[in-house]
Amino acid sequence: MSSQPKPCILFSKAEVEAAVKRLAEEIREDYHDKYPILIGILKGSFLFMADLIRLLNFPLEVEFIRLSSYGRGRESSGRIKVVQGLQTSVKGRHVLVIEDIVDTGLTINFLLDYLGNKKPASLKLCALTDKSSRRQIPVTIDYLGFSVPDKFIVGYGIDWDEKFRYLPDICALEDQDK
């Protein structure tokens, strides 16, 4: 019988808070006078985006987009589609995409392509975590919180099969018997 995996802390709540503060400072510096649209990728980015935006304190718009890439397991299906699209035009606007984790890069590559075709004035990426060892396609992360090891990541909004989003820390799932 397989046991339930257990979350082990990689980055504590305090470390996450410090990283979000650092990212907010970088983003404020670059976007404070640009009235950007921040596009959060649902659902994993929702906590990160909320905390980040609270610290930005300059005029901006918020949008969400929902993609399907992962099924219910731990592996990406590689087939990506837009499940819930944008409610506004990004043409001529400064767009900053907010993602929870860049893994193979397939999802974000698809989305940046999709948004790029809509002719924004600029298009950049802010990712909370980067699992670069698994990359299948090159991705430029303009604002990065943490590099993470090749483990399944949960917490701070990030889930495993809808579980563990509520954890305040960024964790790696480990097998119980390890």
- Interface contacts to ligand IMP, rule CB under 6 A: 44, 69-70, 76, 99-108, 131, 152-153, 158
Q: Which of the following is catalytic: 103, 113, 130, 177?
A: 103
Contact pattern for Mg ion over residues 19 through 48, marking x by CB under 5 A: -------------------------x----
Size of interface with Mg ion, in residues (CB under 5 A): 1
Give the per-residue SS3 of the chain: CCCCCEEEEEECHHHHHHHHHHHHHHHHHHHCCCCCEEEEEECCCHHHHHHHHHHHCCCCEEEEEEEEEECCCCCEEEEEEEEECCCCCCCCCEEEEEEEEECCCHHHHHHHHHHHCCCCCEEEEEEEEECHHHCCCCCCCCEEEEECCCCCEEECCECECCECCCCCCEEEEECCCC
> Closer CB to ligand IMP, residue 34 or residue 132?
132
Is 150 known to be catalytic? no
> Closer CB to ligand IMP, residue 57 or residue 147?
147
104 contacts which partner out of Mg ion, ligand IMP, none, CB within 5 to 8 A by kind?
ligand IMP
> Closer CB to ligand IMP, residue 51 or residue 99?
99
Residues labelled catalytic = 103
